């Protein structure tokens, strides 16, 4: 049988998935052990024990200075910023994206602008964001929105434009108004695409969240990482990175499950990643 037709069983599929993870862990352990053998206080590649105890300390022991449980405080604040930012970006994508995709005049007016705006790296206009939104939460949320909304608008508009023309003509023949077509036809057809674009936008959203928190902040996952980097506390940074990865993974899976439950028709053609 050709290799493209041979499918792994459930067990060997799980095993195959585990191999690269195990390989990374093993390589890390070897390198870490070598460095620690030479300098037991080495900070660059800490042992799993010291990372574990650092994680425990951040999560379950109150901070000496403020009495807060830092990991949960950072996680909560970061997720809050991420959530607000993504909510605004999604709302923008939905409203502007639908209009651009469905109404030719709006498309002519806004599509080139959005396309241009989406190419500006938001980090480069940070000082302007500061002046407009201040240095508080608003600027951090604005950075996330500026970094994700334009691309989401474009992909939503694209999703609207790929709705089969026949369906729209059918609705018009049945006497639907523009509003009825928007709410009963275009919106339901676009929503699974929107969820998909949220999933894709979460990647840059995390990057912008972390960089926003690095710039001016008192809490947050990105804040903590950039703070302890000042004394090379990799025993705190690495668990935080794993934690962020885990959070991002869970969010991604959650959106996929929602999409599958709410729009089973969208997932009819085979597997998706």
Partner 1 sequence: MHMFLKSLKAMGLAAMMALPAAQMSTAAAETKSEFKVCWSIYVGWMPWGYLQDSGIMKKWADKYDISVDIVQINDYVESINQYTAGGYDGCSMTNMDALSIPAGGGVDTTALIVGDFSNGNDGIVLKDKAALADIKGQNVNLVELSVSHYLLARALEGAGMSERDVTVVNTSDADMVAAYSTPDVTSVVTWNPLLSEIEAMPGSTKVFDSSKIPGEIIDVMMVNTETLADNPDFGKALTGAWYEVMGLLAAEDATALEAMATASGTDVAGFKAQLATTKMFYTPADAVAFTQDAQLPLTTKFVAEFLFDKGILGEGAPSPEFVGVAFPDGSIYGDAQNVKLRFDATYMQMAADGAL
User: What is the binding site for partner 1 (CB under 8 A)?
Assistant: 27, 30-31, 34-35, 38-45, 53-54, 57, 64-65, 126-127, 130-131, 134-136, 214-218, 223, 226-227, 229-233
Q: How many other C-beta atoms are found inside a 10 Å radius of the C-beta of residue 233?
A: 17
Encoded tokens for 260: 């599958």
From the CB of 223, what's the least distance to partner 1, in Å? Answer: 6
Choice between 53 and 118, CB closer to partner 1: 53
From the CB of 125, what's the least distance to partner 1, in Å? Answer: 11
Choice between 58 and 251, CB closer to partner 1: 58
* Residue of 231, 245, 203, 255 whose CA lies nearest to 75: 245
* Residue of 178, 176, 173, 124 whose CA lies nearest to 146: 124
- C-alpha to C-alpha distance for 263 and 50, rounded to whole angstroms: 45
From the CB of 121, what's the least distance to partner 1, in Å? Answer: 15
3-state secondary structure of 253: helix
- C-alpha to C-alpha distance for 155 and 149, rounded to whole angstroms: 10
- C-alpha to C-alpha distance for 169 and 10, rounded to whole angstroms: 46
Contact 51, 238 (CB under 8 A): yes
Choice between 19 and 268, CB closer to partner 1: 19
From the CB of 27, what's the least distance to partner 1, in Å? Answer: 5
From the CB of 157, what's the least distance to partner 1, in Å? Answer: 33
- C-alpha to C-alpha distance for 103 and 186, rounded to whole angstroms: 12
Choice between 9 and 39, CB closer to partner 1: 39
Choice between 137 and 252, CB closer to partner 1: 137
């Amino acid at each position: 049988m050709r290799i493209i037709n041979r499918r792994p069983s459930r067990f060997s599929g799980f095993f195959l998935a585990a191999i690269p993870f195990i390989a990374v862990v093993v390589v890390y352990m070897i390198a870490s052990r070598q460095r620690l053998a030479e300098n037991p206080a080495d900070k660059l590649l800490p042992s799993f024990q010291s990372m574990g105890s650092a994680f425990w300390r951040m999560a379950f022991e109150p901070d000496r200075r403020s009495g807060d449980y830092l990991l949960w405080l950072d996680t909560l604040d970061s997720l809050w910023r991420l959530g607000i930012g993504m909510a605004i970006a999604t709302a923008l994508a939905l409203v502007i994206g639908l209009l651009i995709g469905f109404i030719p005049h709006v498309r002519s007016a806004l599509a080139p602008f959005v396309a241009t705006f989406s190419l500006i790296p938001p980090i480069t206009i940070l000082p302007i964001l500061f002046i407009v939104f201040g240095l508080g939460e608003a600027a951090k949320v604005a950075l996330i929105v500026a970094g994700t909304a334009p691309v989401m608008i474009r992909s939503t508009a694209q999703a609207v434009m790929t709705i089969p023309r026949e369906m729209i003509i059918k609705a018009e023949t049945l006497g639907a108004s523009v509003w009825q077509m928007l709410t009963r036809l275009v919106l339901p057809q676009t929503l699974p695409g929107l969820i998909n674009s949220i999933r894709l936008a979460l990647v840059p959203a995390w990057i912008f969240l972390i960089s926003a928190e690095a710039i001016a902040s008192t809490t947050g996952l990105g804040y903590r990482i950039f703070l302890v980097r000042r004394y090379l506390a990799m025993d705190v940074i690495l668990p935080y990175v794993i934690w962020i990865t885990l959070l991002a993974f869970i969010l991604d899976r959650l959106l996929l499950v929602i999409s599958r439950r709410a729009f089973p028709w969208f997932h009819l053609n085979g597997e998706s990643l």
